[in-house]
């Protein structure tokens, strides 16, 4: 088989690029967290699984502003499926029954304070969510804002050509990397890492920060933070009992 045919064969089996819906629910202490957990575990995730959507992540914000806050990470190879998700859910009788308490909560006792939905598209160089092995886990969700689309694409290039490889070599374990398609702080990208605990997180970030290849890369003209990154948001999340990652 020629190199050209090998390349063509590789392209045919290449994983399709995924899209992600990231749902954020701002809550108040009291009955809202338990109602939210019940909705995620017994209504939303079973309905998504029936649609063929697997590896749904559900998380509670542990370190970051505005707690309690819950997140749901929903992957799909179909952007249309994610964009019309609530309409599809409304047509699922089993979901409607399980979600009644959440979907019909009265104004005097709402199920959540506010919700936010973001759409993301996986990097071409990291096209599919990688779920960690079962066990004790925590997650780090990071968003990098850029001052322009050119700067955003430069940061994506930096990740895809070198930085993701340095992450993996130094013990930083990615779950996904994605372009933010919607949101208030565009252009930006978001990625998720996973660790056993905060001690492991700090240890591996320290190794990464001292890595010789990273030091060279991060000081390369065109790749420095002042040129391509204007702000970083950093959140620590713990998986809920319902989480499939």
Cα(first)–Cα(last) distance of the chain, in Å? 39
For the CA atoms of 88, 91, 93, 96, the dihedral, rounded to the nearest 10 degrees, stands at 70
Query: Rg of the chain's alpha carbons, rounded to an integer?
Result: 19
Instruction: Record the pTM.
Output: 0.91
| Beta pairing class for 114-122 and 57-63 | unpaired
Are 18 and 128 contacting, i.e. CB atoms less than 8 angstroms apart?
A: yes
Longest dimension (CA), the chain: 68
pLDDT at res. 4? 41
Residue 14 pairs in a beta bridge with none
**Residue appearing with tokens 């709402």:** 110
Read off the DSSP letter of residue 242. T
18 and 130 in contact (C-beta within 8 Å)? no
| Token duo for residue 30 | 């009291």
Contact indicator for 201, 138 with CB cutoff of 8 Å: yes
CB atoms inside a 10 Å sphere around CB 40: 24
Q: Note down pLDDT in tens along the chain; length 245 residues.
A: 334 433 433 443 455 799 999 999 999 999 999 999 999 999 999 999 999 999 999 999 999 889 999 999 999 999 999 999 999 999 999 999 999 999 999 999 999 999 999 999 999 999 999 999 888 999 999 999 999 999 999 999 999 999 999 999 999 999 999 999 999 999 999 999 999 999 999 999 999 999 999 999 999 999 999 999 999 999 999 999 999 99
What are all long-range contacts of 102-107, with beta carbons under 8 Å and residues at least 24 apart?
102/35, 102/36, 102/38, 102/39, 102/43, 105/35
């Amino acid at each position: 088989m020629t190199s050209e045919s090998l390349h063509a064969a590789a392209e045919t089996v290449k994983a399709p690029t995924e899209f992600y819906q990231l749902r954020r629910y701002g809550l108040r202490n009291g009955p809202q967290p338990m109602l939210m957990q019940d909705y995620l575990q017994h209504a939303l995730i079973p309905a998504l699984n029936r649609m063929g959507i697997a590896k749904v992540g559900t998380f509670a914000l542990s370190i970051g502003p505005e707690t309690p806050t819950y997140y749901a990470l929903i992957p799909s190879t179909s952007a249309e499926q994610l964009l019309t998700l609530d309409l599809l859910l409304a047509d699922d009788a089993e979901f409607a029954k399980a979600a009644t308490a959440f979907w019909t909560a009265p104004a005097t006792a709402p199920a959540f304070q506010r919700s936010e939905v973001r759409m993301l598209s996986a990097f071409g160089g990291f096209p599919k969510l990688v779920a960690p092995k079962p066990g004790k886990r925590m997650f780090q969700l990071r968003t990098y804002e850029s001052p322009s689309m050119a700067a955003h694409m430069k940061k994506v290039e930096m990740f895809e050509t070198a930085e993701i490889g340095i992450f993996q070599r130094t013990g930083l374990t990615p779950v996904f990397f994605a372009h933010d398609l919607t949101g208030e702080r565009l252009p930006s990208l978001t990625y998720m890492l996973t660790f056993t605990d905060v001690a492991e997180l700090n240890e591996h970030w320290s190794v990464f920060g001292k890595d010789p290849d990273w030091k060279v890369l991060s000081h390369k003209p065109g790749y420095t933070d002042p040129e391509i990154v204007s702000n970083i948001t950093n959140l620590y999340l713990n998986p809920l009992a319902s989480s499939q990652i």
